[in-house]
Chain A
Amino acid sequence: RKEVEQDPGPFNVPEGATVAFNCTYSNSASQSFFWYRQDCRKEPKLLMSVYSSGNEDGRFTAQLNRASQYISLLIRDSKLSDSATYLCVVNRGVDDMRFGAGTRLTVKP
C-alpha cells in the first residue's frame, strides 16, 4: 500500500463547479498535513495546511479525519486559474514529508 494515496483523476469540471479531492495515508503516527498545488512544469507550492477541526481559506476547505486517516480538499466556485495538480502531503516527523502522486484538475470555460 502506498504511503499517501490520492484520487487518480483527472477531474475535468466547468467553471463555477464544486470539486472535492480525497487522500488517505497509511501511517497513523503522521503529525501534520498539507495540500500543495503544482502547476504544469513548475514547483509545488503550499496551498493550505490541514487541521483536525477543518479549515477554510476563501473558496478552499480542507478536512482531516485522523480516525479514518483521511484528508479532503473542497474547491467551490472553480476558476480557470484553479487548473493544476493538487498534492496531498503528510508529515511523519522531522525531515519526513511524504507526497501523494497528485490529482490533476482542469477547469473549463
Chain B
Amino acid sequence: ETGVTQTPRHLVMGMTNKKSLKCEQHLGHNAMYWYKQSAKKPLELMFVYNFKEQTENNSVPSRFSPECPNSSHLFLHLHTLQPEDSALYLCASSQGQAGNTIYFGEGSWLTVV
C-alpha cells in the first residue's frame, strides 16, 4: 500500500466544470508536490509545498490552483480547463531536503472534454 494516496483515480470533466484532486501522505514528510505527466513527455513539476509554504510555482496557468492546509494534505483545484490539460497528475512527498528521494501517489487520470 502506497504511503501517498490520491483521489479520485480517474476524473472526466467538462471545460466549464470545477473539480479538485486530493492527495494525502502518511509518511511524515515535510514537502509535497504536484507533477503533470503527458504522453511521451517528461514529468513536469507544477507546485511544491515545503512545511505548508509554497516554494515553487513552475509557471502553471491560473486555472490550476493548489492548496496545502497542512503537511499531510495537498489539493489541486481545477477550473475552466482545456482539453490539452488531460494528463496524469501525480502527487508526491519527500522529507524536503536536498538529496531526499520522493515518493509518488498512484496518480489521478484527468480527461477534459
List chain A positions with a Cβ less than 8 A from chain B: 2, 4, 31-32, 34, 42-46, 49, 87, 91, 93-102
With a cutoff of 8 Å between Cβ atoms, the chain A residues found around residue B90 in the complex are 43-44
CA distance A84 to B48 in the complex (A): 27
CA distance A87 to B106 in the complex (A): 16
B98 at the interface (CB under 8 A from A): yes
Name the distance in Å between B92's Cβ and chain A's nearest Cβ.
8
With a cutoff of 8 Å between Cβ atoms, the chain A residues found around residue B42 in the complex are 2, 4, 98-102
CA distance A93 to B33 in the complex (A): 14
CA distance A97 to B45 in the complex (A): 8
Counted as pairs of residues, one from A and one from B, with CB atoms less than 8 Å apart, the total is 51
Closest 5 CB pairs of A and B: A43-B104, A99-B43, A32-B99, A95-B48, A101-B42
Chain B at the A interface: SS class: loop
Name the distance in Å between B77's Cβ and chain A's nearest Cβ.
21
Interface residues on chain B, number (Cβ under 8 Å) = 24
Name the distance in Å between B21's Cβ and chain A's nearest Cβ.
14
With a cutoff of 8 Å between Cβ atoms, the chain A residues found around residue B2 in the complex are 43
In the complex the two chains form, is A95's CB within 8 Å of B101's CB?
no
Name the distance in Å between B36's Cβ and chain A's nearest Cβ.
11
CA distance A95 to B103 in the complex (A): 13
Given A42-B106, A43-B105, A43-B106: A94 touches B43 (CB 8 Å cut-off)? no
In the complex the two chains form, is B98's CB within 8 Å of A101's CB?
no
10 examples of A-B residue contacts, CB within 8 angstroms: A42-B106, A43-B90, A43-B104, A44-B90, A93-B98, A96-B45, A97-B102, A98-B42, A99-B42, A101-B42
In the complex the two chains form, is B48's CB within 8 Å of A46's CB?
no
Name the distance in Å between B11's Cβ and chain A's nearest Cβ.
15
B:9-51 near A, CB below 8 Å: 31, 33, 40-43, 45, 48, 50
